[in-house]
Amino acid sequence: MEWLFNVIHYVVPFLILLGVLVFVHEFGHFIVARLAGVSVSAFSIGFGKELWSKTDSKGTVWKISAIPLGGYCQFLGDADESSSTSDVDLSKYSDEEKKHLFATQSPYKKLAIAVAGPLFNYLFAFVVFFGLFFCVGSYDIPPVVSDVIENSPAKAAGIMKNDTILEINGKKVSDWSDINKEVSIAVDKVTLKISRGEQTLDINVPLVDMEYAYDESEKPIKRRMIGIKGEAKQFKIVKDNFQFIPSLKKSAEEVYNITDMTLRGVWQMLTGKRSGEDVGGIIRIAEMSGDISRTRGALDFLYFMALLSINLGLINLFPIPVLDGGHVVIYLLEIVSRRELNTKIRDGLFKMGLSFILFLMVFATWNDIRHLITRWFD
């Protein structure tokens, strides 16, 4: 029966998570295409063999397919939103149908459709955060050290119980979550500004791999930490977050902070400051979604979904051919030059982009497998 519990706790949450995020992303493309007068032939969650389908009044085939690792929004006559008039046999379509082909639209409309997917991911995350903050509130832990772990970098650096952390890496700290975020994005060390009585101290603390567990039944795994704890008994609901405007503001701040952390992490990898081992893929997402569903609650799962939605939207905006960001660059070039990009050049760019994405997927999967082996057998 253990395998059944693993399916429930890992596979089902992962499928729900991925299905929702893919639907949100592709629905962004879909709704803006419809508003722009572009006909949508198919809207699919998943790839491959069709498991279920339904055709709406405007001819769009809504379907669920067998391989649940993505999805697509197919426009009339096209495979995706990269086609131009040179890719489509216009003689196959009537004059009325030509008006609704993606390929015949202006680059401005194409740009709006391409951007819509990532923007809907951001909008979804903002709405989820707002719902959590407005309907539930948020829990804040004061940035006061309640305990320093023995033999930890924090202990060696001289951090003491009841120290108040004012800044970390030059950023002001108002809540313990600010500390967690900066530690998670740091590479080798963090710089803390600490208040201790009437003293203000600046302390550099290196990061080391330390064991922790999701709960008492979970085998300890390692994470880079400095070795300090916040006081769980000081959890408090921030009542202001039940109000409309403060909830909007906090939601916007959360979206900005996650975007900032993601960009900083990517930049650290590009500049060699952070190991490529941190690159994770589908397996890592499934593992994390399963861990959260097993050991935490629905609210944490929703927060994780919003966080991944931001990452999906941001990564799709990177100027890599095949991704939405690559399409955006092409349409901007066409707007400036007032002509379509040469077909051979465009095809060459998309082949390079596809090769890079495939390499990244293989690399991420290899990292995921190594991570699982370490977790299970180390």
pLDDT in tens, 10-21: 788 888 999 999
Q: What is the dihedral of CA 305, 69, 318, 311, to 10 degrees?
A: 10
Give phi and psi for 256, each to the nearest 5. Answer: -65, -45
Sign of CA dihedral 292, 295, 299, 300: negative
**From 26, 81, 167, 334, the catalytic residue:** 26
Nearest to 73 by CA among 83, 85, 88: 83
**Residue 187 has what pLDDT?**
76
The SS3 assignment for 361 reads helix
The SS3 assignment for 141 reads coil
Residue 44 has pLDDT above 80, yes or no: yes
Give phi and psi for 121, each to the nearest 5. Answer: -60, -40
69 — pLDDT class (breaks 50, 70, 90): confident
CA distance 22 to 65: 13
CA distance 264 to 179: 16
94 or 223: which leads in pLDDT: 94
**Residue 315 has what pLDDT?**
93
Q: Is the distance from CB of 192 to CB of 159 less than 8 angstroms?
A: yes
Average per-residue pLDDT for the chain: 84
- Outline where 36-146 has alpha helix (H): 95-98, 107-135
Q: Let me know if 26 is a catalytic residue.
A: yes
Question: Which CATH superfamily includes the segment(s) 139-237?
Answer: PDZ domain (2.30.42.10)
**Tokens for 301?**
């799962």
For the chain, the domains span 2-135+311-377, 139-237
pTM: 0.84
**Residue 5 has what pLDDT?**
67
pLDDT digits (tens, 9 = 90+) for 288-310: 777 777 767 788 889 999 999 99
Q: In what helix (H) or strand (E) does residue 171 lie, and over which residues does it extend?
A: strand 171-172
